[in-house]
Amino acid sequence: MALPEHTPYLIIGAGIHGLSTAYHLALQLKSTGRGDGHDILIIDKGGIAAGASGIACGVIRNNYFQSSMRELMAHSVEVWESDPKNYSYHPVGYMQISCESMHADVASIHAEQQAIDYDSEFVEGEADCSRYMKGIFHDWQAQSITSVLHEKPGGYANNASAMYGLASKAEAEGVRIVTGVTLQDLELDSSGSVSAALTTSGKIACDYLVVGAGPWAPQIWQMLDLPSSVDIKNPADGSLTTGVPMWVYWSLQEGTLGVDPAVQTTNDGRAPPVIHVDTDAPLFSDVDGSLITDQMWGIYYKPDFNFGGIQGGAAPFIVDKPFHQVAVDPYGPESAEFITGADFAHMWVSALAHCQQRFAGAMPLYKNEPSGGIGAFTPDSFPVIDCFRGNCHFIADSNHGYKMIGVGKLVAQEICGQASSLLKPFRFSRYARGALHPVSNSPFPWS
């Protein structure tokens, strides 16, 4: 498909945010009589779901300590549930299984989920938690668990299949998707607004730009001449922490155990919820019995026929490399050293065996194939979703992205003049205002 010289709406990225925004914007334009999907163009340097959205774990949950994240996720779960077939969505539920240091945090999550009518069950106490989990999995054996939060909505989606389903919905509304086109730079007019995109296939003038580029967000942030660092106000005493880098790269630890996914079924033979365990119980190697860690650790996992096994991950780690060494291509060959390897596989498979006896001795079945990748995180590890330059909606998901399918719908509404209260807590100005999200005791930076 040839690139037009001009498009009213240009979207960068054919992943979850770009596709969702395009589809919902097409519906918004049609309903308001302001146009339709033919006014929208998506470009992507690779293809549909070629980046993070194509190899993400695909977990969909509401389990957040931060009330603003819970409300945003509840909205996103509704979008997933609106078309489970096209979104390749499996509504199996989600379980947060935790040790005592997280008990109070998880209790507050449950209380606030009840306040927004999000269906969940909360179990407390080590004996009751063990009884509850063994009622689902007969071989459950995780240690030091004192709370279980069982979310009945949510689950997971088959990542690439979901993106192709979303793309087909957008294209049915007239949206054009052109792949193999790399954004090289952006032109700004005299007022500072975005006037055109310079790409490897030519110049595209646009009236409005949407950026949904996942781990490539920092490069486009630079093209918009936005600040490379921020000053963050401490809400407690008003003091400032100055010069905090805007972007930090984390290596996202995910992988697949190559067993029949049907191995992981519940006692009654059903598809199980997604399992997430955070615990301070010592973790020992399932290979040689050596101590892997005596510090807080966490994993998540679920059976996935798309991945062909048990798929999941563990807490990420910061990539200790200068920005320019990662920013060239977060999924290119030069990033391979940061992505999941033997240390992760040993830890994750041993943790599976710690949780359920059925995974004992499974280390030789670990599949060394692409999963996880590199994520670009904001200063507080939460999304920045805001309008810059007067005509550019920027979605920097800080790797919360895949589950946030509803963000595109909210951004589409904002482009058409309907300000979103759900997106207000994620404005860039929160750093200067000290309106920060509370921090939980989870080992994960996005919980």
Give strand ranges (E) for 389-427.
392-396
Flag residues of the chain having pLDDT under 50: 323-324, 328, 333-340
Q: What was the pLDDT predicted at 339?
A: 46
Burial of 295 (C-beta count, 10 Å sphere; 0-12/13-18/19+): exposed
**Residue 125, in any domain of the structure:** no
**Residue 22, in any domain of the structure:** yes
**Residue 313, in any domain of the structure:** no
Beta-carbon contacts of residue 24 (< 8 Å; ≥ 6 apart): 408, 409, 411, 412, 413
**Residue 444, in any domain of the structure:** yes
* Its pTM surpasses 0.85: yes
Domain that holds residue 196: 1-58+158-228+380-447
Percentages helix, strand, coil for the chain, rounded to the nearest 5? 30, 30, 40
Copy the structure tokens of residue 235. Answer: 């809400």
Q: Which residue has the tokens 């490069």?
A: 219
Diameter of the chain by CA atoms?
67
For 265-295, what is each residue's pLDDT tens digit?
999 999 999 999 999 999 999 999 999 999 9
Q: What was the pLDDT predicted at 334?
A: 47
d(CA 398, CA 392): 18
**Residue 63, in any domain of the structure:** no
- Amino acid at residue number 122: F
Query: How many domains in the chain?
Result: 1
Angle between helices 406-415 and 16-32 (to 10 degrees): 40
Report which secondary-structure segment, H or E, holds 105: helix 103-115
Q: What was the pLDDT predicted at 245?
A: 94
**Residue 54, in any domain of the structure:** yes
Q: Please report, for the domain that includes residue 2, its CATH number.
A: 3.50.50.60
Copy the structure tokens of residue 254. Answer: 């995910």
- Amino acid at residue number 401: G
Beta-carbon contacts of residue 68 (< 8 Å; ≥ 6 apart): 422, 425, 426, 437
**Residue 361, in any domain of the structure:** no
Q: What was the pLDDT predicted at 333?
A: 47
d(CA 268, CA 266): 5
**Residue 48, in any domain of the structure:** yes
Q: What was the pLDDT predicted at 376?
A: 87
Q: What was the pLDDT predicted at 304?
A: 87
